[in-house]
Structure 1
Amino acid sequence: MTLSQEDPLTPVADDDRDAALRRVRDAYGQGHLSHEELEERIQRVLTARTRGDLGPALDALPAEPDSAATVLAAVGRIRRGRGWRVPRTLTVASAFAKVRLDLSRAVLEHPVVDIELRLGTGSARIVVPRDAVVELDAVVAPMKDTRYRARARTGADGPAGPRIRITGTLGFGRLTVRHARR
């Protein structure tokens, strides 16, 4: 669902504002906007209070590419570590694979990352950034309990980091999620 299809009176969320800013900057980078138009549209996005207010800033811009979704599928091991670009939506599918994803050393370009697991007998271990907020409500692992201990947040921690939403099923495997130590 795009912003224009949603209720225009809904307050603008940080994720919506970030997505709108990214879209305006991308359009400028592709030569669709002049420097003056860029400044005007950024100002509109930053001052928007409702989703309807974002409409004029996004009018006549090219549609967002649908390249934010990626599927990792393998029979063997699936491993991602230092420096990989994490897509907005990631699906990990395998009947037998051991999955190791280190998001703490990855390039996170999106404030929210959705990871869907479709694993048969394999297990998954995911390391998230120290300040990440993790949501595991929709994980189904009937054979083994999911292991995750939420990091205690204090007021001195500053704003929360990226939100990592993990969903899906693990047939016989276990999901282990932990925060990076540094």
Structure 2
Amino acid sequence: MTAQRPEPAAHSALRVSHADRERVVDQLREAAAEGRLEMDELDTRLGQALTAKTFGDLAPLTADLPPVDSPERPVGPPERKEPLILKGGMHGASRTGRWQVPGRIAAYGNIGGVTLDFTLTETRLPEVEVEVHGQMAGVTIVIPGDWAAETDDVEPEIGGVQDKTTPDRLPGTPLIRLTGNAGMGGVIVRHPNFRERRRLKRGR
């Protein structure tokens, strides 16, 4: 008597791979960047995607989002807007407090230096490109403790690159990707220091 083959499992019951999870994570982040998901929704769905075990777990996370190749999405590469340009000049330049974060920023330290403080900003962008040119006085970048930075594409030159950040990036937070060169003044990327954290707790 021939043994009966087991019925194949339904697609929703099949186990997912790391690549399957990453595809959903990418779709969720793109939807958030387009304004289709709020940040709290994105955080919740990313957590569920990263712990999903079957296709049935993943399916509800993107059921209300257009597919990547849907006509609801813009055709062709996304528009690349002009970057925010900061030049240190004689007295320096900075962006601090609450400010609108664009997808691209260019910072030129010149002889006054440039400071970019993202601590109080809110953005749905999955990635922010920051082109740095340390020149004489350098560039300092401050990011929240749950954001991450990538500095491998910055030429250290004389001033060097100091990346004092941790890799503990939370789902839904942007990656600050740096390019350019450190010049003589150098480039520093860090999280808020003790004094800045105290000031944040006091609501200043």
Pick the TM interval, shorter chain: 0.5 to 0.7
Paired position in structure 1 for 2:128:
113
Determine if the alignment matches structure 1 residue 167 to structure 2 residue 179: yes
Deviates more, 1:85-94 or 1:130-139: 85-94
TM-score if structure 2 supplies the norm length? 0.59
- In the TM superposition, what whole-angstrom CA distance separates every residue of 1:95-120 from its partner, at most 9, and x where no partner exists? 32311111112233422111101232
**Identity fraction in percent:** 24
Q: Name which of 105, 114, 126 aligns with 1:99.
A: 114
Distance 1:59 1:111 in 2: 18
Within 5 Å, which residues of 2 pair with 1:143-162?
143-151=158-166, 153=168, 159=171, 161-162=173-174
Q: Deviations over 1:6-39 (max 9, x none)?
A: xxxxx462443323x4289xxxxxxxxxxxxxxx
Which amino acid in 1 is paired with 2:117? D
Give the counterpart of 1:177 among 167, 189, 196: 189
- Matching residue's letter, 1:132: W
Take 1:96 and 1:158, find their aligned partners in 2: how far apart are those partners?
35
**Structure label with greater radius of gyration:** 2
Unaligned runs of 5+ in 1: 1-10, 25-41
Runs of 4+ in 1 over 6 A off after TM superposition: none
Question: Counterpart of 2:35?
Answer: 22
How is 1:1-182 mapped onto 2 (pairs within 5 angstroms)?
11=23, 13=26, 14-19=28-33, 21-22=34-35, 43-45=64-66, 48=67, 51-52=68-69, 55-58=70-73, 66-67=80-81, 69-76=83-90, 77-151=92-166, 153=168, 159=171, 161-180=173-192, 182=197
What displacement does 1:44 show?
3.6
- Are the aligned partners of 2:86 and 2:114 in contact in 1 as well (CA < 8 Å)? no
1:78, distance to aligned residue in structure 2 (A): 1.1
After superposition, give the CA deviation of every residue in 1:84-105 in whole Å (9 maximum; x if it has no partner).
1111111112532311111112
CA contact (8 A) 1:123 1:173 kept: yes
Any unmatched runs of 5+ in structure 2?
A: 1-22, 38-62, 198-204
Give the SS at the match of 1:56.
coil
CA gap 1:66/1:81 in 2 versus in 1, 3 angstroms: same
